[in-house]
Amino acid sequence: MAKIKRKGQTGQAKNYMTRTQAVKKLQISLPDFRKLCIWKGIYPREPRNKKKVSKSASASTTFYYTKDIQYLQHEPLLQKFRDQKVLEKKISRALGRGDVGDAARLERNAARPDQTGKPRYTLNHVIRERYPTFIDAIRDLDDCLSMLFLFANLPSTTAVPAKMIARCERLCLEFQHYLITSHSLRKSFLSIKGIYYQANIQGEDVLWLVPYKFNQRVVGDIDFRIMGTFVEFYMTLLSFVNYRLYTTIGLKYPPKFDEAKDNQSAELAALTLEGAGLTTTAEEPKATIANGEEHGPDPKVQAEVNKLVKKLRFEDDAEKPDAEMAEGGDDGEEKPTDGIDKFEPAAPGGDVLPQPTYSGNDPSKLFSNCVFYLSRETPRQSLEFILRAFGCKRIGWDSVLGEGAFTTDESDPSITHQIVDRPIIQAATAEEGDGEDNQTARKLGPNQRYPGRIYVQPQWVWDSINNEELQAPDLYAPGAELPPHFSPFVKATQGQYDPTIPLEEQQTEGEALDAELADAQDEAESGEESEVENDMDVASDNDEEDGDEEEGEDEEEEEEEDEEDEEEEAALQRQRELEAELEGKAVKNKKVDPKVKAKLDKKKALERQKKEEAEALERAKGMLSKKKRVRYEQMEYSNNKKSGEAEKLRAKRRKLEKEKKSKA
């Protein structure tokens, strides 16, 4: 007799495990299991057939791979969890006995990351397992950064200990410092949710979201234990990533942290970067320039140093910070990591290849010649970070914004740009007429301006870095209506609406025709009263511009009608001609504006073409197999939806433009 097969012993059922089974197998509590899953990156799977997989009668919802759970069984953290559990038991027993001293002693041994912000265990091995190479870690940095930046801005509560927040903040600052020194920030975007940043680290694009500096509201049922578990992992990850990043650009990690400065909300300036061998502060060059001693190094000494450095490099090709870094001055350009090598032909005759560049402009030079002053209403943290990352060395701000400014004196003559975000006071504009003119606005008290510097709104900075060139400041002058702020992350796709290019370049032929017709109609209406009947219904069609969707649906019907109309019209025309011939009169043609007529004809031709295409499509669709047809229809549905949205946006824009035109 064949062996009896039991349910759940073979096939798919063997590969999957429900969560309850997994927890039982690992002999840990559900919260511990959750932690383990989060850290080890184990997630549930969706079996192809749930019924085949589930071993119980009731429908289970969460399935894990059995192999995943087996892999968790060998996790050293599991032992730590168990130890912790034993310890907790001991403490509770001691407390039950009334043995407070013993309980306190045991309590001291207990790891309470939720209170102290630091656990007894380390997650190093987990990180190494999950990210076998550094680039893997970089690839997965999006969520990590978003989470840590959010936690750095959270208020400390019982669920979120202050130490954790402080650590998050510090790690974030360290990371920002890396981006500043390596000039790897690429894009940034002011969204309604916060500020998005995109950096390019070792060829990987990392995108993260930083909330605006406000107290975050905690709404809804949010389990901070889960968030805390993630943060714990991310903190460890980012500290290792930071270490690696710092060491690759020849900096010492961790950077020196000045607590006093940090307490005065110096933020970025609280950290002092040091070279791996030599000590140099990031602020030093800034400080020297701030004093106005723009001393270049003595040319002789410089030459000597250069020679020495070259020699050193030959001897030891490990990246060492240049000697001149300590001297300050022009260190940014000479960093080996920053520069782009130029490939020049050593011998004539070879093909000329395009030079390696990552963009037309060097991001480290965008603001390098500018000195900024931030008014107190501007977001200092984000502006400072962006300006620094794009080469600005000297940034001053109002003293209420915190420590670390190059100058707090607004009248400093070296300032070239001032970022303001306050409205023009009415009286001033009334008198001046034009608030954008710096020269005139300067004279007034409340809107006092210093001559010789450019006043812009903060958006100017963002638009400049996204477009990789300084934007015209007059568009961003204080009080001016800002141009729309575009997301730099959207890649233009065919058929999608793109607000950055004019409408004419992206609208479909039909839409353009409709629009022109509508225009012509309007003109005609304003001019003449009499209208051709046929045109009337076309016009009414066009009036329904907003309800374009419906039009698409019963397109076919309309087309048919149109065709019939056409035939009838032709017949009528012939009839008329015949009658005229009989009577010997000239043909009475109805008055039709020739332009409109041409357009109408064009439209009709377009519709006919459309109809033919639809017919061909129908024929081709009939030849598809059922599977392919279903797939085709799905694609068509989603494409139609997308194009419908784009069409809607185009229609809106057309309307807006028209309104603007009529106003003007």
Partner 1 sequence: MKAKLVEKKRKSRDLESDSESDDELGNGLFDGVLSASEDEEDYIPSDQIEEDESESEGSEGSDDEADGDDDDILSDDIPSDIDGETDMDKLRRDAEELEITEPFVDPKPKDEDTEGRNYRIEKDANGGERYVYEEIDPVYDSDDSDAQGPANTIGDIPLTFYDSYPHIGYDINGKKIMRPASGDALQSLLDSIEVPKGWTGLTDINTGNPLNLTDEELELVRRVQMGLVPDGLHDPHPDTVEWFTSKQETMPLSAAPEPKRRFLPSKNEAKQVMKLVRAIREGRILPYKPPEERQREEEEKEEVHFDLWQDEEPSAPNPMHIPAPKLPPPGYEMSYNPPEEYLPSKEEREQWEKTDPEEREKDFLPQKFNSLRKVPAWGTLVKERFERCMDLYLAPRVRKNRLNIDPNSLLPKLPSPAELKPFPTVVQTIFRGHEGTVRSVAIDPTGVALATGGSDGTVRVWELLTGRQVWSVKLSSEDPVYTVRWRPTKDAFILAASAGEDIFLMVPTHSSVTPTLEKASREVLAAGFGYAANGNTPAVAPGKEPAGKWSRPGTRLEDEGVLVKITVRSTVKVINWHRKGDHLATTSPEGQRSSVAIHTLSKHLTQIPFRKLHGIAQTAAFHPSKPIFFVATMRTIRCYDLQKLELVKVVQPGAKWISSIDIHPGGDNLIVGSYDRRLLWHDLDLSNRPYKTMRFHPKAIRAVRFHRGGFPLFADASDDGSLQIFHGKVPNDQLENPTIVPVKQLKGHKVVNQVGVVDIDWHPREPWLVSAGADGTARLWM
Q: Which of 100, 308, 482, 587 binds partner 1 (CB under 8 A)?
A: 482
Nearer to partner 1, 580 or 620 (CB): 620
* C-alpha 71 chain-centroid distance: 35
Q: Which stretch binds partner 1 (CB under 8 A): 91-99, 564-572, 586-594, 645-653?
A: 645-653
**What minimum distance in Å lies between the beta carbon of 337 and partner 1?**
17
Torsion angle in degrees (nearest 10) through CA of 18, 24, 27, 30? 60
The burial class, CB within 10 Å (0-12 / 13-18 / 19+), for 538 is buried
Nearer to partner 1, 155 or 339 (CB): 155
488-507 residues near partner 1, rule: CB under 8 A: 489-490, 499
Q: For residue 603, how many other CB atoms are within 10 A of its CB?
A: 20
**What minimum distance in Å lies between the beta carbon of 658 and partner 1?**
12
Q: Which stretch binds partner 1 (CB under 8 A): 225-233, 265-273, 275-283, 295-303?
A: 225-233
**What minimum distance in Å lies between the beta carbon of 346 and partner 1?**
33
The helix or strand, by DSSP H or E, that contains position 288, with its residue range, turns out to be helix 283-290
Nearer to partner 1, 63 or 406 (CB): 63
Q: Which stretch binds partner 1 (CB under 8 A): 120-128, 393-401, 571-579, 591-599?
A: 120-128
Q: Which stretch binds partner 1 (CB under 8 A): 74-82, 141-149, 267-275, 589-597?
A: 141-149
**What minimum distance in Å lies between the beta carbon of 244 and partner 1?**
6
Q: How far apart are CA 242 and CA 251, in angstroms?
A: 10
Q: For residue 442, how many other CB atoms are within 10 A of its CB?
A: 15
- Tokens found for residue 54: 């589930």
Q: For residue 75, how many other CB atoms are within 10 A of its CB?
A: 17
Q: Which of 190, 199, 273, 415 binds partner 1 (CB under 8 A)?
A: 190
**Site size toward partner 1, by CB under 8 A:** 100
- Tokens found for residue 567: 């035939």
Q: Which of 175, 240, 367, 390 binds partner 1 (CB under 8 A)?
A: 240
201 forms beta bridges with 204
Q: How far apart are CA 617 and CA 605, in angstroms?
A: 18
Q: Which of 53, 137, 270, 366 binds partner 1 (CB under 8 A)?
A: 137
Nearer to partner 1, 45 or 608 (CB): 45
149-178 residues near partner 1, rule: CB under 8 A: 150, 154
Q: Which of 222, 427, 571, 605 binds partner 1 (CB under 8 A)?
A: 222
Contacts 24+ apart (CB under 8 A), 402-409: 402/264, 402/265, 402/266, 402/267, 403/261, 403/264, 403/265, 403/266, 403/269, 403/270, 404/261, 404/266, 404/267, 404/268, 404/269, 404/270, 404/283, 406/286, 406/287, 406/289, 406/290, 406/371, 407/290, 407/373
Q: Mask 354-383, x = binds partner 1 (CB under 8 A)?
A: -----------------------xxx----
313-342 residues near partner 1, rule: CB under 8 A: none
The CA R_g of the chain, rounded to the nearest whole Å, is: 35
Does 632 help bind partner 1 (rule: CB under 8 A)? yes
Nearer to partner 1, 364 or 507 (CB): 507
Q: Which of 29, 30, 223, 399 binds partner 1 (CB under 8 A)?
A: 223
* C-alpha 624 chain-centroid distance: 41
Q: Which stretch binds partner 1 (CB under 8 A): 140-148, 266-274, 281-289, 523-531?
A: 140-148
**Does residue 65 sit in helix, strand or coil?**
strand
Nearer to partner 1, 482 or 572 (CB): 482
Q: Mask 242-281, x = binds partner 1 (CB under 8 A)?
A: -xx--x-----xx---------------------------
Q: How far apart are CA 39 and CA 33, in angstroms?
A: 10
Q: How far apart are CA 347 and CA 541, in angstroms?
A: 70
Q: Mask 534-573, x = binds partner 1 (CB under 8 A)?
A: ----------------------------------------
Torsion angle in degrees (nearest 10) through CA of 28, 30, 34, 36? 0
The burial class, CB within 10 Å (0-12 / 13-18 / 19+), for 119 is middle
18-77 residues near partner 1, rule: CB under 8 A: 34, 37-38, 43-46, 62-63, 65, 67
Does 207 help bind partner 1 (rule: CB under 8 A)? yes
Q: How far apart are CA 73 and CA 79, in angstroms?
A: 10
Nearer to partner 1, 287 or 656 (CB): 656
Q: Which stretch binds partner 1 (CB under 8 A): 147-155, 175-183, 335-343, 399-407?
A: 147-155
Q: Which of 293, 317, 341, 481 binds partner 1 (CB under 8 A)?
A: 481
Question: CB–CB of 394/289 below 8 Å?
Answer: yes
569-628 residues near partner 1, rule: CB under 8 A: 615-626, 628
Q: What does 439-473 look like in DSSP terms, one character per residue? A: HHHTTSSTT---TTSEEE-THHHHHHHHHTSPPPG
Q: How far apart are CA 344 and CA 337, in angstroms?
A: 19
Does 450 help bind partner 1 (rule: CB under 8 A)? no
Nearer to partner 1, 303 or 492 (CB): 492
Q: How far apart are CA 155 and CA 346, in angstroms?
A: 60
**What minimum distance in Å lies between the beta carbon of 522 and partner 1?**
21
Q: Which stretch binds partner 1 (CB under 8 A): 146-154, 269-277, 363-371, 586-594?
A: 146-154
Q: Which of 467, 487, 540, 573 binds partner 1 (CB under 8 A)?
A: 487
Q: Which of 10, 58, 133, 291 binds partner 1 (CB under 8 A)?
A: 133
Nearer to partner 1, 174 or 535 (CB): 174
Question: CB–CB of 479/435 below 8 Å?
Answer: yes
Q: How far apart are CA 185 and CA 390, in angstroms?
A: 8
Q: How far apart are CA 177 and CA 155, in angstroms?
A: 23
Beta carbons within 8 Å of 636's beta carbon, 6+ residues apart: none
Sign of the C-alpha dihedral computed for residues 180, 182, 187 and 191 taken in this order? negative
Does 192 help bind partner 1 (rule: CB under 8 A)? yes
Does 473 help bind partner 1 (rule: CB under 8 A)? no
418-447 residues near partner 1, rule: CB under 8 A: 421-423
**What minimum distance in Å lies between the beta carbon of 142 and partner 1?**
6
Q: Which of 211, 297, 336, 473 binds partner 1 (CB under 8 A)?
A: 211
